[in-house]
């Protein structure tokens, strides 16, 4: 089970790094930022419950760099540098109250492709775990 889970995790981390031009940590900070911006939305029964319905800018909540660093267990300065890279490339914007990943950046076709690949990867993990005799109830 540990080997199968590690395989899934490594595949996912590779995709995250590729999405951030080889900068795995920038990719992880980006994912934490996007999640924090929309974490207040109820995923079940929400108007934004599919890959085709991305929450618009007006419902995204800013998050502080300090909150992102705390959520990832990273030093503030490290997180600040990665956020600065993302601001410089348009992946996020500084706004009153913190930073926000705009809809235009989140709607990047490469991100959608990565999510589709991750779904395939997740199904592979479930299939392999079932084949190994693990009950997934």
Residue 43 has what DSSP assignment?
Answer: S
Whether residue 135 has pLDDT greater than 70: yes
Domain that holds residue 9: 2-131
What does the pLDDT look like over 52-94, one tens digit per residue? 778 888 999 999 999 999 999 999 999 999 999 999 999 999 9
Please report whether residue 107 resides in a domain.
Answer: yes
On whether residue 92 sits in a domain, the answer given is yes
Helices and strands counted in the chain (H then E): 6, 2
Q: Does residue 36 lie within any of the structural domains?
A: yes
Q: How many domains does the chain have?
A: 1
Average pLDDT over residues 114-119: 89
Residues 6-63: pLDDT tens digits?
999 999 999 998 888 889 999 999 999 999 999 888 776 667 766 677 888 899 999 9
**Within-domain flag for 50:** yes
Contacts with 63 (C-beta within 8 Å, 6 or more apart), sequence order: 33, 36, 37, 98, 99, 100
Residue 136 lies in a domain: no
Q: Give the pLDDT of residue 127.
A: 93
Does any domain span residue 137?
A: no
The span from the CA of 135 to the CA of 117, in Å, is 24
Residue 118 lies in a domain: yes
């Amino acid at each position: 089970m540990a080997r199968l889970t590690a395989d899934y995790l490594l595949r996912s981390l590779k995709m995250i790094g590729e999405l951030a031009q080889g900068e795995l940590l920038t990719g992880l900070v980006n994912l934490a930022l996007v999640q924090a911006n929309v974490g207040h939305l109820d995923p079940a029964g929400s108007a934004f419950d599919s890959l085709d319905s991305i929450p618009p800018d007006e419902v995204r909540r800013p998050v502080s760099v300090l909150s992102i660093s705390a959520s990832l267990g990273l030093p503030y300065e490290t997180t600040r540098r990665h956020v600065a890279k993302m601001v410089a490339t348009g992946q996020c914007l500084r706004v009153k109250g913190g930073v926000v990943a705009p809809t235009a950046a989140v709607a990047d076709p490469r991100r959608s492709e990565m999510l589709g690949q991750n779904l395939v990867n997740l199904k592979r993990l479930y299939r392999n775990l079932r084949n190994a005799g693990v009950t997934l109830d």
